[in-house]
Amino acid sequence: MTQINPNILREYDIRGIVGDNFTEEVVETLGRAFGTRIKRAGGKSVCVGYDGRLSSPGLAAAAVRGMMACGLTVYEVGRGPTPMLYYSTYALEADAGLMITGSHNPPDYNGIKMMLSGLSFFGADIQDLGKIAAEGDFETGQGSSEQRPMLNDYVERITSDFKAGRELKIAWDAGNGVAGEAMTMMCDKLPGEHHLMYADIDGNFPNHHPDPTVEKNLADLKEMVIAKGCDLGIAFDGDGDRIGVVDSQGRVLWGDQLMVIWAKEILSRKPGSTIIADVKASQVLFDEVARMGGEPQMWKTGHSLIKSKMKELESPFAGEMSGHIFFKDGFYGFDDALYAAIRLLSILTQTDEKLDDMLDAMPKMVNTPEIRFDCPEERKFDVADEVKERLNGASDVQVIDVDGVRVVSDDGWWLLRASNTQPVLVARCEAKDEAGLAKLKAELVKQLETSGIDAPDF
């Protein structure tokens, strides 16, 4: 039996180091385990796609072998962004999907994202794959595979929702990730002027790390926007499910700020809709959704958790500060950065208002970025619980415990939560002014020190 290192079985996906704990043998075994779950759910077919990492084609072939051994029909949809794989499951009416992708991790990493029966496959489901593999409890059968490349269909689908109007000048940065080819094809179909950067897919990521939520990775995009006089710049992460945006001055619009713009358009057509955002999002977003006639809903961080909550609440739109954006309104409800770009451009083409003006119109807050710092795996969840216990019942604060603790006071709010994927704690503070921010930071530091944790440098 091929041994599966339990450390690669994460909350939202599977992730490991190629040639170490994540080999073709491991992936074939995991393919058999996932194929077993598909069969036991009554499924007969699965789509398999892969990203632009050097190891991905071989790993995808291993997953196909594993699932065929369960008796499944496997549609090999080819290389493309993770949202292309999600789309393929709908377009080909498959029962499940498996994507080989390392997302925005370093080049020596790779991983697997999955969906089953239209739902995210995460948490206990991923742990169950390890159990099936350890026990060798596999379904068997005579499966088959079909080559069904889906990149052209996917690009056709997402661009079909574009609304033409005022022509725009746009800079694009794929960071040498797998979104590059789809981005190029998409821009060929769109009017306006397009300046493409790092569109060639290269699993070594020679120019910068493909993570648009880290501002230093947007430096080249900002330069291009300024140099070419663009209206905006758009960047994608390594597998195309997270978006980054800068305005014509090179100012970053974070995921929660972008959500205000998309939510306004949706609420103009669907007043009263529930709009979901994660606990890291600015209070500005929740307040603006309420002001615009929507129902703001704060929920746990994690793309799988957000997708599940959307389904439960029948929400047309959701997102995370990290740039995972989900449209059920007119689309399928999964996180797709290229489709999110189409929806943003469609708003901008229909108005003379610039993206800069939309950013300037938002209430101003001062805040920290997301701060991540080490905390032992066995302590990380306890620390957040200890803080919650100490502050529950305090008269001067409100404690929101949707995911960790979000502590609201007259000065603003601060957040402390445990990462689901790493031995780290995550913190963020937001206030109306610098004096308020300083007080929030001090309170957070005090709580960490009370729990015996070294506070990070703010």
Cβ contacts of 121 within 8 Å, gap of 6 or more: 34, 37, 96, 114, 115, 304
Distance, in Å, from the CA atom of 393 to the CA atom of 247, rounded to the nearest integer, reads: 43
Cβ contacts of 368 within 8 Å, gap of 6 or more: 427, 428, 429, 430, 437, 441, 458
Judge whether 273 counts as a catalytic residue. no
DSSP string spanning 347-388? Answer: HHHT-S--HHHHHHHSPP-EE---EEEE--TTTHHHHHHHHH
Amino acid code (one letter) for 210: P
Q: Is 229 left (phi over 0), alpha (psi -120 to 50) or beta?
A: left
Distance, in Å, from the CA atom of 289 to the CA atom of 284, rounded to the nearest integer, reads: 8
In 208-336, where does DSSP find H-type helix? 219-228, 255-269, 283-291, 303-313
Q: Dihedral of CA 273/158/215/424: which sign?
A: positive
Distance, in Å, from the CA atom of 425 to the CA atom of 383, rounded to the nearest integer, reads: 9
What's the token pair of residue 87? 């789309």
Distance, in Å, from the CA atom of 416 to the CA atom of 441, rounded to the nearest integer, reads: 11
Distances from the Cα of 426 to the Cα of 209, 300, 355, 380, angstroms = 21, 13, 30, 10
Which position among 55, 56, 103, 304 bears the catalytic label? 103
Distance, in Å, from the CA atom of 203 to the CA atom of 116, rounded to the nearest integer, reads: 28
Catalytic residues: 103
